[in-house]
Homo-oligomer: A and B are copies of this chain.
Amino acid sequence: MSERSDTFTIPARRGRAVRLNRGQAIKIINTHGQQVVDTWCFNAEDLKEFMSMEHIRPTIGRIFPHKGDHLVSNRRRPMLYFEEDTSRGVHDTLMAACDDYRYGLLGCTEYHDNCTDNLFAAMRHVGLTAPECPSPLNLWMNIPVDPEGNTDWGEPVSEAGDYVVLRAEVNCVIAMSACPQDILPINGRRCAPTEAHYTILG
């Protein structure tokens, strides 16, 4: 993808945060097609209110959101409207952001980039301190659930250039992490995390 002046990069294995005014939207692009982007949304006026997966599920009656859903906060208020999705709609709300503990359990003996630290770093970069790492909306993450409730680590079913558009229903801060998971095939069977991109829509 060519980098246009209004298109910003989320570098591979890194995070970015951006402020959205109510009514603005963000288009998050799966540039190379196999990259999971962990996504968070905080109320800009009170960071303790944030998009919450455990509050979204009872509100929409589904374990992952579709285009047309309102994504609610831990106070059950709409924060983001899920306006567009060019992919097949496979995203995840079940799994915590990866963290240093996780990579330790996966056998890493040295520090491994991770979405939790990416969230805190991205928020610091825009002058904010995330109060915690809420469970993220894992865009394009493919977690099949079988009838017995067993989960699996699938590969994304998205294509290069797929995107979602999320429209702010409150003044908010969006944080995103191009997930650095390279041990499980969650970012594709090559286990090679890539960059992703975003643009802000008026």
Which residues from chain A sit less than 8 Å from chain B, CB to CB?
Answer: 52-55, 57-58, 61-64, 74-77, 94-96, 99, 101-102, 105, 132, 135, 145, 147-152
Contact assessment for B149 and A58 in the assembled complex, using a CB-CB cutoff below 8 Å: no
| Complex partner residue of A76 from B74, B105, B132, CB under 8 angstroms | B105
| Complex partner residue of A64 from B53, B55, B64, B149, CB under 8 angstroms | B149
Closest Cβ–Cβ distance, residue A111 to chain B (whole Å): 16
Q: How far is the CA of A76 from the CA of B101 in the complex (A)?
A: 6
Question: In the assembly, how many copies of this chain are there?
Answer: 2
Closest Cβ–Cβ distance, residue A18 to chain B (whole Å): 24
Contact assessment for A57 and B150 in the assembled complex, using a CB-CB cutoff below 8 Å: no
Q: Which residue on chain B has the smallest CB distance to residue A60?
A: B151
Q: How far is the CA of A101 from the CA of B102 in the complex (A)?
A: 33
Closest Cβ–Cβ distance, residue A143 to chain B (whole Å): 9
Q: Which residues of B contact A52 (CB under 8 A)?
A: 96
With known contacts A76-B105, A132-B132, A135-B54, A63–B151 Cβ distance under 8 A: yes
Q: How far is the CA of A105 from the CA of B73 in the complex (A)?
A: 13
Closest Cβ–Cβ distance, residue A36 to chain B (whole Å): 13
With known contacts A95-B57, A96-B52, A147-B147, A76–B62 Cβ distance under 8 A: no
With known contacts A102-B76, A135-B54, A150–B61 Cβ distance under 8 A: yes
Q: Which residues of B contact A64 (CB under 8 A)?
A: 149
